[in-house]
């Protein structure tokens, strides 16, 4: 997209996992749904029993959590790591710590995680839609958010492209924020090892790959000065004691990680094949599949009437599927897909005859 065609945007914040809303809207009991509306691993990490002290004591910021994260992510050092209450906390706080320009200053992909644009706009930044295929960033852009792989489109940016963007932004005194919430399943393109560079922030989450969204824990990887400023902004005890226990166990369990990466690769391929069998042009990441299609909204509605909850996006009209958790759920999805597509095609045929 040429610089002159960049547009500012403000978005309503919507998320998957909103089953109570679906239950009310479609009159189907909460427990009767097959929820595929998030990209959270349905085979979550089996957290060992939580020590009693983790409940009784205040969270200990001096424990080994940051060191464990630095080792797992390959960050330069523990001084480059800040545990936070989910990457969501950092997304809300970071824009206030970055200089805002009078022109369009924050470049964000047209369809990506929906919290970024409102967070930047609330803190005085003018947001521009950014074509992530660009090699050279528009001169008006000071900061860029890159979700890699992107949620929901599954697009991936190479390390070389991101480092080149960082170099361009650094010359302007700007910042590249790389959200790697879905990178754990295929970590080869992570920028975590570069997180000591000024003007580079890498966000990581344990919610997706480890299936621990409920513990609300994540990490900011950045140069020490920004880490300290963000630590002061967020305050003490941002990650609970039980969450720290769970996350340290998950990050240290290399055997589980290796086995899970292989499993998710197989299951994401299975999901993509299931959707492609219905002639949808699918793009897939290890934890979800997405496609844009004129029938996307009709499919989302038809599946919902059958108790299958997916994530619909209006622009472009598209739908994202997470992974089923069991063979029973895979079979249920296959049947619901066939029935829903047949219903849609029948409706199209009837309209063409009228």
Residue 187 inside a domain? The answer is yes
Question: Which of residues 252, 279, 309 is at a domain's end?
Answer: 252
Greater confidence, 101 or 178?
A: 178
With a cut of 60, say whether residue 210 has pLDDT above it.
Answer: yes
Long-range own/partner contacts, residues 25-31 (CB < 8 A, 24 or more apart): 25/304, 26/304, 26/305, 26/307, 28/307
CATH code, domain with 185:
3.40.640.10
CA distance 63 to 75: 17
> Residue holding tokens 């930047």?
120
**Number of domains forming the structure of the chain:** 2
Does 48 map to a domain? no
334, containing H or E segment = helix 327-353
Exposed, middle or buried, 48 (CB in 10 Å: 0-12/13-18/19+)?
exposed
Q: SS3 sequence, 156-210?
A: CCCHHHHHHHHHHHHHCCCEEEEECCCCCCCHHHCCHHHCCCCCEEEEEECCCCC
Cα separation, 81 vs 230, in Å, equals: 11
pLDDT at 10 over 50: no
- The answer as to whether 6 is a domain residue is no
Mean pLDDT of all residues in 115-141: 94
Please report whether residue 64 resides in a domain. Answer: yes
Looking at the structure, do residues 244 and 329 belong to the same domain, yes or no? no
Same-domain status, 104 and 178: yes
Give CA–CA dist 248/261, Å, rounded. 18
Same domain flag for 219 and 301: no
Mean pLDDT, rounded, for 104-112 = 92
For 320-341, what is the mean pLDDT?
A: 98
Last residue of a domain, one of 213, 234, 252: 252
pLDDT (0 to 100) of residue 283: 98
Q: Do both 209 and 308 map to the same domain? A: no
Query: Does 326 reside within a domain?
Result: yes
Examine the domain organization and report whether 301 and 245 are in the same domain: no
Q: How far apart are CA 101 and CA 107, in angstroms?
A: 12
Q: What is the mean pLDDT of residues 223-244?
A: 96
Residue 343 lies in a domain: yes
Does one domain contain both 248 and 303?
A: no
Question: Are residues 166 and 287 located together in one domain of the fold?
Answer: no
pLDDT at 8: 38
Q: Provide the domain limits for residue 25.
A: 15-39+255-353
User: Are residue 130 and residue 70 in the same domain, yes or no?
Assistant: yes
Q: What is the pLDDT of residue 104?
A: 67
Is 49 part of any domain?
A: no
The reply to whether 263 and 332 lie within a common domain is: yes
Domain boundary pick from 252, 287, 313:
252
Task: Report the pLDDT value the prediction gives residue 349, as an integer from 0 to 100.
Answer: 76
Of the candidates 309, 313, 315, 314, the one whose C-alpha atom is nearest the C-alpha of residue 340 is: 309
Residue 86 pLDDT exceeds 50: yes
| Rounded distance between C-alpha atoms, residue 150 and residue 157, angstroms | 9
pLDDT of residue 125: 94
pLDDT value of position 288: 98
Cis before 152 (ω within 30): yes
Residues 246 and 265 in one domain: no
Mean pLDDT, residues 79-84 = 98
- Nearest of 214, 209, 203 to residue 260 by alpha carbon: 209
Residues 231 and 168 in one domain: yes
Q: Give the residues across from 17 on adjacent strands.
A: none
For residue 280, tell me if it sits in a domain: yes
Residue 7's pLDDT band, with cuts at 50, 70 and 90, is very low
Question: In this predicted model, what pLDDT tens digit does every residue of 261-283 receive, in sequence order?
Answer: 999 999 999 999 999 999 999 99
Residue range 307-312: average pLDDT? 98
Distance CA 112, CA 183 (A): 15
pLDDT by residue (tens digit) across 139-178?
999 999 999 999 999 999 999 999 999 999 999 999 999 9
**Domain CATH number, residue 319:** 3.90.1150.10
Task: Please tell me whether residues 20 and 166 are part of one structural domain.
Answer: no
């Amino acid at each position: 997209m040429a610089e002159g065609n960049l547009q500012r945007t403000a978005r309503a914040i919507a998320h998957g996992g909103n089953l109570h809303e679906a239950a009310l809207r479609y009159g189907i009991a909460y427990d009767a749904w097959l929820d595929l509306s998030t990209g959270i691993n349905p085979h979550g990490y089996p957290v060992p029993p939580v020590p009693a002290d983790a409940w009784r004591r205040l969270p200990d910021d001096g424990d080994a959590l940051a060191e464990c994260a630095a080792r797992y992510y390959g960050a330069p050092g523990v001084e480059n790591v800040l545990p936070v209450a989910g990457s969501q906390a950092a997304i809300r706080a970071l824009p206030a710590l970055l200089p805002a320009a009078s022109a369009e200053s924050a470049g964000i992909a047209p369809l990506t995680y929906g919290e970024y644009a409102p967070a930047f706009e609330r803190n005085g930044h003018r947001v521009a839609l950014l074509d992530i295929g660009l090699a050279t960033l528009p001169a008006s852009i000071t900061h860029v958010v890159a979700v890699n792989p992107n949620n929901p489109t599954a697009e991936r940016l190479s390390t070389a492209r991101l480092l080149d963007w960082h170099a361009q932004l650094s010359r302007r005194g700007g910042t590249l924020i790389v959200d790697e919430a879905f990178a754990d399943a295929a970590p080869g393109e992570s920028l975590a090892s570069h997180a000591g560079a000024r003007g580079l922030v890498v966000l990581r989450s344990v919610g997706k790959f480890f299936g621990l969204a409920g513990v609300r824990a994540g990490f900011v990887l950045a140069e020490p000065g920004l880490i300290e400023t963000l630590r002061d902004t967020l305050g003490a005890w941002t990650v609970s004691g039980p969450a720290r226990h769970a996350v340290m166990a998950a990050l240290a369990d290399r055997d589980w990680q290796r086995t899970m990466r292989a499993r998710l690769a197989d299951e994401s391929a299975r999901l993509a094949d299931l959707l492609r069998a219905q002639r949808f042009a699918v793009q897939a990441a290890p934890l979800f599949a997405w496609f844009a299609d004129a029938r996307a909204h009709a499919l989302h509605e038809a599946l919902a009437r059958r108790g299958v909850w997916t994530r619909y996006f209006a622009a472009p009209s598209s739908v994202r599927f997470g992974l089923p958790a069991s063979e029973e759920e895979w079979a249920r999805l296959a049947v619901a897909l066939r029935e829903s597509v047949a219903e849609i095609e029948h409706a199209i045929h009837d309209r063409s005859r009228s």
